[in-house]
Chains A and B, each alone.
Chain A
Amino acid sequence: MNRERVDQMFDEIKKILDEEYHITGVSKETNFRKELGLSSFDFLNLICIFEERYGVELDEEKYIHIVTVGELCDYLETLVVKDAT
């Protein structure tokens, strides 16, 4: 896993959370439901935004298990790398 790319993903997630939900101050440990109060509908909306921006398709079997911002960064990084190769 490329740390630099994971950090880039993290910056991107922070930007989208701010633009869409006016949420700031998140860390990689931040929990989408417990701390940010995103319902599963909101989370799905977030997934759609990523898919549109990166032209990738996130696997439902994978993203339904994502709980924290860091886990989403890691997963997106693997997808973007896979897509590039």
Chain B
Amino acid sequence: MQMEKYLDTVIYDDFSAMLKGRYEESSRVTALRYFEKENIVDVTYSEMVERVAAVYEFLKKEGLGGKHIAILSENRYEYIIIYLAAVLDSVIVPLDREAEPSVINELFERFDVSAVFVTDKTAKKAGQASEIKKYNIDREFRDILKTEISVERFFEETKDTDKDRFAVLASTSGTDGRMKGVMLTQYNVITNIRGTLENNVLKSPTLSFLPMHHTYGFNPCILATLYNGTTLCINRDVKKLFRDIKAFDPFFFGAVPMVIEGIYDNILREAGKQNKERSLKRLIRLSNALRKVGIDLRHRFFGSIITPGLRLVVSGGAPLRREYVDKFDEIGITILNGYGLTECSPTVAVSRTINNVPGSAGTIMKNIDVKVAEDGELLVRGPNVMLGYYKDEEATRDAMEDGYFKTGDIGYTLGRIIFITGRKKNLIITENGENIAPEYLEAKINSFDEVEESLVVSKRVNNVSIVCAKVYMGENGKQNVQRFKEDLKALNESLPSYMRIDDYEVMPEAFQKNSSKKIIRKLYL
């Protein structure tokens, strides 16, 4: 195995130790920064820890120690405080605020949720579960923060927190469409965020805008910054992303391919509107030529295009087209690929600025072992691998092999560099990193009276990937198209927007099947 030299970092093995370390060493540093209406608000590390302590004490007084506490909220600073407070002695359950109310309520039950933090925007979705305690962040958080506890007592009480206890219940798409609960420990998460800092230097500030309920949005972007003791800027509304990028001038943000492509296309559009597209392209050509002779003026030439401080963007959640890595490099911004899964807390590999191998999914992080099975499947072992799926021993058994987690991804490694070439499972991975189990949508479509069988696939149209349902409605299927369109519209309205079926195709004959009567999916991709 090729030896990789990783960066040294401070060592915290649980969140109590991390909070104590940051309280002592970075107390006056801004931990969190965000817009409140038109004003920028700063929260220092000492203020952040005091608020975490207050919420921790509140949860204890409410009898929620050891209980499962869900959070159903848009991105906001309070999310982070609640997560850090709950993870120490309870189980935090981050849920997708876009999910249908029926799904949310089903998860409350299946994940044994005792309490949920909601906001004015999400309260309605959690409305049906009357036996669960509800706390509205918009209305109650200020009062919750008044719960009295000294920071010293908080550290004393939490210093023996069990790092190996199940502390985070994250959700991931199961192939049957039902969400599976992924059980993670503090140690899983904290060693994983440390791993990202062992691969790359993270300068201040960083910007967070990915949904916080995603482990990719939360762990390597938010928690890694706080572990690092630097400033995390929070975008609360994606519509204000460009304002926040300009105002916060981040060194780094984590993104998904759709956003990275969107930002670049936006640069070109803006240049086009000002009749500057040709001069921009000319300047890029000039800059490229200068770089060949060792003169790098990219930051002087292009610093103002997005924001002067931005140097690093990590792309994760889905594969990014190689051309965008090159395009951003031309204007002085390094795009690093990352690879991970919720079950791995989530990061397995991330490219390094000192060794950014084009086309790879990054350098495998320290202490993580990746091996390739005979059929090409990547198997992962390390301190980041989950305890198992919540109350689903069968799925846990199926997912593990001799201590390794079976990723379902096909690929290979060259030394510590990892390459992904395909998937074993049928999951559709969208450009914003969401996973869709086609079987889930197929089951919904097959329940339409007019449909005999269906297949849901991803297809590329005009540079975007869309979800397409191929349906067979019997020999006289064309007569049922109108009815199908109506049923499909109703289905789409009940689904989260990322799962929406954008297109359909009526098949002239039934799908071809194998000997066990399953549709031969690969024939129709």
Contact = CB atoms under 8 A, between A and B. Distances in A.
A51 interface: yes
Nearest to A61: B121
B466 A67 contact: no
B273 interface: yes
A39 B461 contact: no
A34 B432 contact: no
Contacts of A78: none
B462 A37 contact: yes
Contacts of A31: 502-503
Given A21-B269, A34-B466, A51-B239, A40 B502 contact: no
Chain B's interface size range is 20 to 34
Contacts of B503: 31, 34
B258 A40 contact: yes
B239 A39 contact: no
A19 to B, nearest CB: 7
Contact of B258 (A19, A35, A41): A41
Nearest to B124: A61
B492 interface: yes
Contacts of A40: 258, 432, 497-498
Interface in A54-85: 64-65, 67
Interface centre among A41, A47, A48 (most CB of B within 10 A): A41
B439 interface: no
Nearest to B242: A48
Contacts of B502: 31, 33-34, 67
Contacts of B239: 44, 47-48, 51
A80 B266 CA distance: 27
B247 interface: no
B402 interface: no
A42 interface: yes
B159 to A, nearest CB: 42
A36 B238 CA distance: 22
A65 B432 CA distance: 17
A20 interface: yes
A36 B497 contact: no
Nearest to B467: A33
Contacts of B269: 20-21
Nearest to B239: A48
A39 B258 contact: yes
B294 interface: no
B91 to A, nearest CB: 29
B266 A45 contact: yes
Contacts of A67: 492, 500, 502
A42 B497 contact: no
A48 B463 CA distance: 22
B261 A39 contact: yes
B280 to A, nearest CB: 17
A26 interface: no
B293 interface: no
Contacts of A39: 258, 261-262, 431, 463-464
A41 B257 CA distance: 10
A31 B261 CA distance: 21
Nearest to A38: B464
Contacts of B265: 42
Nearest to A37: B462
A34 B238 contact: no
Contact of B273 (A19, A34, A35, A38): A19
Nearest to B98: A64
Nearest to A21: B269
Contacts of A35: 462
A65 B496 CA distance: 9
Given A33-B464, A48-B239, A41 B497 contact: no
A35 B463 CA distance: 11
Nearest to B496: A64
A55 B273 CA distance: 22
B462 A41 contact: no
A37 B262 contact: no
Contacts of A38: 464
B261 A65 contact: no
B163 to A, nearest CB: 37
Interface string B462-489: 1110100000000000000000000000
Interface string B265-299: 11001000100000000000000000000000000
Contacts of B201: none
Contacts of B273: 19
Contacts of A51: 239
B497 A33 contact: no
B262 A42 contact: yes
A36 B502 CA distance: 12
Interface of A: 19-21, 31, 33-42, 44-45, 47-48, 51, 64-65, 67
Top 8 closest pairs, chain A to chain B, by CB: A37-B462, A41-B262, A64-B497, A39-B464, A33-B502, A34-B503, A34-B502, A37-B464
30 contacts: A19-B273, A20-B269, A31-B502, A31-B503, A33-B466, A34-B461, A34-B502, A35-B462, A36-B462, A37-B462, A37-B463, A38-B464, A39-B431, A40-B258, A40-B432, A40-B498, A41-B258, A41-B259, A42-B262, A42-B265, A44-B238, A44-B239, A45-B262, A48-B239, A64-B98, A65-B492, A65-B493, A65-B497, A67-B492, A67-B502
Given A34-B503, A39-B262, 11 more contacts: A19-B273, A20-B269, A33-B464, A34-B466, A37-B464, A39-B463, A39-B464, A42-B262, A44-B239, A47-B239, A51-B239
